[in-house]
Every structure is written in structure tokens, then in C-alpha cells.
Chains A and B, each alone.
Chain A
Amino acid sequence: MSLHVESKRNFFLVFGALMVLTMLTVYVAYFDFGAWNNVVAMAIAVAKASLVVLIFMGVRHSSPLTKLVVIGALLWMVFMVGLTLTDYETRGFLGVLGK
């Protein structure tokens, strides 16, 4: 794997984008999208995190292994949260207390 040095310009572009997204996330918080509030806020957070991961942390030019590590960590978060919520969202499934 050869060393890749990211350009200054890209770093500043990302920095600008992150600032804009931060303002955006505060701005949209003033509006009520109902059930979509969480989705919007999390979507912006995910976008920001992706920029940091891809450019600041250099995953864009990293080995496939590094990319796999990042994806794997996210997948395991999904396993943990998803299966736990499977319980919480289906409490009372049978219409019997505690079932």
C-alpha cells in the first residue's frame, strides 16, 4: 500500500461542509417533522461522520481491509440495536401481559 497524501484543498472543503451541516442540523431542529425528526437529525449526523471517516481519517484511500473494519463495526451496531429493539417494539405481541 503506497502512502497517499490528501490535498489541503480537500481538507478545507470538508471542513466547510461540516460547518454547513452543523448549522443545518440546528436549523432543521426548529421544525417538527413528526416521526421524521430523528431520521433527519441522524441522517445529517451520518453524513458528517462519513465525511470525517472518508477524508479526515483517510479511509477513501485506505486498504479494503480498513473499509471492511469500518463497515463491520457499523453492522455490529445494527445487530445490537436492531435485535434489542425487536424485543422492545413487540412487547405484548400475544396480547398477554409480559408476553
Chain B
Amino acid sequence: MPDNFPLLPEQASTVAPSVDALFWTWVAISAFSALLIGIAIFYFFVRYQRRQTDEIGHQDHGSTALELTWTAIPLVIVLAMFVWGTRVFFDQSRPPADAVEYLATGKQWMWKFQHPSGKREINELHVPIHQPIRLTMISEDVIHSLFVPAFRVKADVLPGRYTTVWFEATKTGEYHIFCAEYCGTEHSLMGGTVYVMEQEDYEAWLAKAPGAVGGQVATGEELFTRFACNTCHFAGPRARGPNLEGAFGTVVKLADGSSVEVDEDYVRESILNPKAKVVSGFEPLMPTFQGQVTEDQLLQLIQYVKSLSGSQTAAAPGDHSGADGSAQTQGAAPASPTTGG
């Protein structure tokens, strides 16, 4: 019934049906309880209408048994619904291992997306159907929130820290993207469209779309050279910075004796604020790149650093080939997109 009811939003992702099942169960429970109370009130209201001005009601003091009953029953219901709701929430929160990573940057008042192939879009996002997709997101200014009602997913996009949203589209079509966290003058215009396409259509779109300039990793590698990162970060005893080969995902010891996991937030911090957490054995020589590198470029650099560890999150093995213009799909994520030249 929810399917053909015209007032309802499209179900276009794998989590949407489970969110809706949860929602409609709650609606049914609520409607039943509200009706029960409503009917009781209405009946008492008519049945026990006052007939003389000085009439008084029948006095009783209540009943502990009744109180316990109507404490226990709702308690059981809400706790059961809590368990169910939390399971759905974990599904919404935890992307599958084979999810392909796309990048998103929010700024007043637009969304910038980047495909694994390096293809960039503004306020539009083309994605292949039946492919789990993970958006790594950051804001350049205030808090935004990426919301795709048809996918039943939403996550705030924060300045200074990465957050994630994931979905797997199940239905081709065009769906709204909204900014759900109020962000200023044109908050209501900070939207866009996500286009869910068949795999082959998506690849065709990628191939003919202009402006695809190498994969995220390739762009990151280029930035790595342009910002001269490679003059210090290389393998060997003369390197002034830690070798990044295989570093991502490991836990490194810091100069002050503590340790930290090399994740996206740490790499970002190390570029913007290099002296904050210096790896043990190195001098704090690195200059800050604050103000020189954009959030988009940071994301690309991170993708490159990830690729040095062969991390699957760097995804799309086709990325490297993207740089030299070939368009091959391969590896663990068969549906993963690649670039055209």
C-alpha cells in the first residue's frame, strides 16, 4: 500500500524499505493507541455528561494494577521499537565493505561532488544503480546536511571533520538532494539532483562527459608533486618526513609518546596543522598548507595517500588507468566507475 499511495516518497535505495517498514509500524501503533484513547474520551464525554449543576463524579482513588499495566505495556513496545530502530540505524550508518567512495564538499550554497574517476559535478550527482556508494563529506564553511529523501539517508556535513553517508540505489530516476541543516541565505536553494542510471548508461555518461581529468588518486598524486610533498615524504633514510607508503590505516607513534591512527582526519590535520601530531623520529619541519589547499584538494590528497596503502577505500582500481586515458573496469568493485579521457 505505501507503494502506490501518491503522497509517499519514492523508495529508491536498499535501506528505504526497511525505514518505511519501521515507520509504518510506528504509524499503526500510534494510530491504534490514539484511537483507543480517543474513543474512550469520546465515550466518557457523552456517557458521563453532567445532568444537574451540583452533581459530582463518582470518587475513586485509582488502581495500582491498572497503573502498572499501562506503564509496562508501552514500555515493552517502545523498547522493542528502539531495538528495531537501532538495527535500521546501523544499516543506515555502516556502508558495506565494497562501497565505492565518492567525495562531497558542501559550501554556501552548493554541493560539489567528485567521482572516483575524478569527474566533478556541482549540485548534480550521477550514480550507477545497484552499486553501494559511500560519500566522504566535508564543509568549507558552516554546517550543512546532505539529505536524499528517496534514499532515506541524511548526514550533517561539518567543517573541519569528515562525515559519511552511504546508499545503494535500487531504482533509476532523478531524486532530490536537499541541504537539511540551515546554512544561511540560500539554504533552500542548496539542493540538487541525484541521477540513478543503469551501469552502462553511467559509463557512457562518464565517457562523454567533458572535464574528466584523471581519477581522484591521479589528481591527488599531481597535487602531491605540485605542493612538493614528495621532496620530504619518500622512502629512505634521508627523508625528512615519514614515508607514506603503506602508512594509511596503521597506528603510528608520535613524538610525545602517544600514538594515533592514520585516518582521513589525521592526514587532513597533518597537512593543515603539521606540528600538531608529529610522528616520532621526525623534526617538526613541515610548513602548514592552511589557506593554500582547498577542501577538494585535501580530499584528493587523502585519496592518494590511501592508494599508497593499497586501501580498498581508494576503490576504483581503474583510477590509475584513468590518468593515462584507458577506461577499464576491474577488481573487487565490478560496478565501479572509471573515467574516459
Residue among A92, A96, A97 with the most chain B CB within 10 A? A97
CA distance A94 to B95 in the complex (A): 10
**Which B residues are CB-close (under 8 A) to A99?**
93-94, 163-164
Q: Number of B residues contacting the other chain (C-beta, 8 Å)? A: 15
Q: How far is the CB of A42 from chain B (nearest CB, A)?
A: 21
**Which B residues are CB-close (under 8 A) to A98?**
137, 155, 158, 161-164
**What is the interface of chain B, defined by CB distance below 8 A to chain A?**
90, 93-95, 136-137, 155, 158, 161-164, 263-265
Contact with B along A83-99 (1 / 0, CB 8 A): 00000000010101111
Asked if A97 contacts B264 (CB within 8 A), the reply is yes
Contact with B along A57-99 (1 / 0, CB 8 A): 0000000000000000000000000000000000010101111
**Which A residues are CB-close (under 8 A) to B155?**
98
Asked if B136 contacts A97 (CB within 8 A), the reply is yes
Number of A-B contacts (CB under 8 A): 26
Give the secondary structure class of B's interface: mixed
Asked if A96 contacts B158 (CB within 8 A), the reply is no
A-B contact pairs, 24 of them (CB 8 A): A92-B263, A94-B90, A94-B93, A94-B94, A96-B93, A96-B94, A96-B95, A97-B136, A97-B162, A97-B163, A97-B164, A97-B263, A97-B264, A97-B265, A98-B137, A98-B155, A98-B161, A98-B162, A98-B163, A98-B164, A99-B93, A99-B94, A99-B163, A99-B164
**What is the interface of chain A, defined by CB distance below 8 A to chain B?**
92, 94, 96-99
CA distance A97 to B164 in the complex (A): 6
CB nearest to A95 among chain B residues: B94
CB nearest to B92 among chain A residues: A99
